[in-house]
Structure 1
């Protein structure tokens, strides 16, 4: 794969070797025609069938769920005895959707390099803000309505809204799930312009704890010349979010990183004093938790035109200092075709996804082996010139519920 130069050429080479396989995970299929099967598993009890299906990897389980209504009922029941230790390690999947208001899209499984037709319970519009952690995904729409769900089992829960959240200009969403207890924390950074003062922004942080089912507002502060946006993540009990320069005292960069300790174990300085400089002039930044390390994928701006992207870099934060991991080779950057100054990117564990808003091209980077690779071609096609694409990654898990 060392000579691959573009997503399209890679797909053409790949399809000569393997036929594309698109499966549906969203709905149970019709009953299997027993006359056409050599051995019928319908003679087995539910307990025995449960034990057999429990040894399948997660993608095979949902293929099995389409065999019959009975199988679908078994694998989606709360008593299903699936054990992830029976399966090989799961890499995070990537869900891609278009600019339509339909909840359908395609999920990419990097383990098998296959796309699946997929439907999410809550994609009511294309401008949802989305965060994921350990098998759960949180959705927040433009009116600040919140839902938590497991996209695999489709179990969902509407969360109580913090007071005053709907009256904000910008909102960033982050979440973190405890792997042992499955309790989770949701953090929202609200940013609202101070009336009649265009240079001041009212920033507030709202924290939800599922164990208590309550919201708290540990910080409210006015920033001069900086506003919040829609980019945030939680790592090791610290909420990180990007702020954007709006004018006033000249700044070397249009972006800065804010760190806020939500664990409550230490005192918190003012937001302005907690600013962390970004590693270079950025067109945009995407934050992600990679094994409890803060990773940023950023568009690198030109020296004389910082709003024009010239490349993409990946950095890891160590003690308030950025370490550059890699820059995207130019052949991959060109492989996207026309690339805007902003783009979608998310990651979990060791795998990072990067996607252009203007096309369904999807590139992956493995942090462990430092390897770039195009995904199999997405079955979602571009139907008109201004059609937009976006997406997010999540961990496919069965044994977790909101």
Structure 2
């Protein structure tokens, strides 16, 4: 739809001094189509985006039967605010290509007139790590159904912790759990955050970031969990919050969880931190396996009692993935067999509404079988209306549209599995041009 509108906007506004316009319109449409459908790598797209100041606009001066045809530039007819509106219908990759067409478009897209607040919400992209060690991979655009070869800044290994929000992605190393970076993977802007307080080598950690869409200020939360020495039933549990405006860590909370430990899953929705805690199999809670813990991070004076709000998950799960969809908490979970809690029999999606779990959907059997041999754990993330689900053992990527209740497979990833122990994982992020770390 966006592509059709873009091409239509140009072909319908072409003016001819004399003679037929069919060939001129066709040439322009073919030119724009080739621009939109180019299989360039993301690096070449970014290069043309950043270096397009010297590119002149294209003029067509030849038609059928020797008749001279002159194309009147679109920007000479339409005011900039109308051009802004046309650009607002384009996916992010097409906007970058449009900036390479001519100087005028470049300056419109880069100037303050092109306000992102007027941009229609972007469909999230999914970055898939295709190496067990290096942080190499491809990003999938569900609108154009294309994969782009992107080099992520900062991150060194694919097993790092990742969280994203409103265009920014946060990384934390998986060794000391103290090296934290924030970046925009589209424009490759990044910065390193101060090391968080607390234990340096926790047994379990999780990472969450929340970015304010209007002010671009952000909050980072790191949760650390470490076993109390010589007592497997007791686990130290701490929450550490970073404020980007003050550039400092604030309001650390420390407590002991009897019979429960932290995990690697957390998310922030509407000012509330949600995280999954795991049963240690003692203290009579061996059958519960998971619970949801909630804590209001907006409180100015944190207190342990304000975070002692836990809720059971809707059913026995092999794993759970917490997702922020338009400030609503959504969980994607592997549904465990009743008598074999480590065996997955399906995948469900639930939303938390007014403190109660509401089942949204379950992966249809034919799609569930499409994963092949699915382990009891898998990768899943999402934003806006899209949820991505991926098996660690293959490159198949399943996409669920919450608004349309529609399932579909992504376009085939350009990387295939080369050896049996090769693992794949990933995360989603919203592609944005204007936000910086």
TM-score range, shorter chain: 0.7 to 0.9
Cα offset, 1:273, TM superposition: 4.0
Please give the residue correspondences for 1:195-206 in structure 2 after superposition, counting only pairs within 5 Å.
195-206=229-240
Query: Alignment partner for residue 310 of structure 1, among 345, 355, 373?
Result: 345
SS for the counterpart of 1:59 is helix
Q: Which of 387, 411, 430 lines up with 1:376 in the alignment? A: 411
Q: What is the match of residue 293 of structure 2?
A: 258
1:336 aligns with 2:353: no
Does residue 114 of the first structure (1) align with residue 149 of the second (2)? no
Shift of 1:104: 2.7
2-structure distance, mates of 1:259, 1:265: 16
How far 1:61 moved relative to its partner?
Answer: 3.2
Aligned residues: 377
Larger Rg: 2
Distance 2:94 2:301 in 1: 46
Q: 1:322 to 1:51 in 2, by over 3 A?
A: closer
Shift in alpha-carbon separation, 1:84–1:180, aligned structure 2, 3 A: closer
Secondary structure of residue in 2 paired with 1:148: strand
Q: Determine which of 253, 271, 280 is the counterpart of 1:219.
A: 253
User: How far apart are 1:102 and its partner, in Å?
Assistant: 2.9
On the 8 A contact 2:294/2:308 being kept in 1, the answer is: no
Give the deviation of 1:110 after TM superposition: 1.1
Compared with structure 1, are the counterparts of its residues 194 and 53 closer, same or farther at alpha carbon in structure 2 (3 Å cutoff)?
Answer: farther
Hey, what's the Cα distance between the residues in 2 that align with 1:34 and 1:177? 35
Find the aligned partners of 1:74 and 1:103 in 2 and give their Cα distance: 34
Relative to structure 1, the CA distance from residue 192 to residue 267 in structure 2 (aligned partners, 3 Å threshold; closer, same or farther) is closer
Shift of 1:267: 7.0
CA RMSD of aligned residues (A): 3.3
Does the 8 Å contact 1:261/1:268 carry over to 2? Answer: no
Tell me: CA distance 1:242–1:361, structure 2 relative to 1, closer, same or farther (3 Å). same
- Asked whether the equivalents of residues 198 and 238 of structure 2 are also in contact (C-alpha less than 8 Å), the reply is no
Q: Give 1:129's aligned residue.
A: 161
Aligned counterpart, 1:99: 131
CA deviation profile, 1:284-305 (whole Å, cap 9, x unmatched):
0000111111100000000000
- Mark the CA change 1:53 to 1:195 in structure 2 (over 3 Å): closer, same or farther: farther
**What aligned pairs does 1:176-191 form with structure 2 within 5 A after superposition?**
176-191=210-225
The more displaced of 286-295 and 260-269 is: 260-269
311-320 vs 93-102, which moves further: 93-102
Match of 1:7 in 2: none
Instruction: Specify whether residues 165 and 82 from structure 1 end up closer, same or farther in structure 2 by C-alpha distance, changes over 3 A only.
Output: farther
> Any gaps of 5 or more consecutive residues in structure 2?
1-36, 62-79
Aligned residue for 1:176, secondary structure, equals: strand
Distance 1:165 1:307 in 2: 31
Secondary structure at the residue paired with 1:26? helix
Greater share of strand residues, 1 or 2?
1
TM-score, normalised via structure 1 length: 0.84
1:3 aligns with none
Structure 1 match to 2:264:
230
Find the aligned partners of 2:160 and 2:60 in 1 and give their Cα distance: 46
Listed as ranges, the gaps of 5+ residues in structure 1 are 1-19, 41-49
Q: TM-score w.r.t. structure 2 length?
A: 0.78
| Structure 1 residues 100-135: Cα deviation after superposition (integer angstroms, max 9, x where no partner) | 433331111111111111111023012110000000
Among candidates 17, 25, 37, match of residue 42 of structure 2: 25
In structure 1, what is the equivalent of residue 206 of structure 2?
A: 172
- Distance change in 2, residues 1:272/1:159 (3 Å): closer
- 1:360 is matched with 395
Q: Matched residues in 2 for 1:299 and 1:392: separation?
A: 18
Out of 146, 149, 159, the residue aligned to residue 183 of structure 2 is: 149
Aligned residue for 1:17?
A: none
SS class of match (2:43):
coil
Bigger RCO (CA 8 Å, 6+ sep) = 1
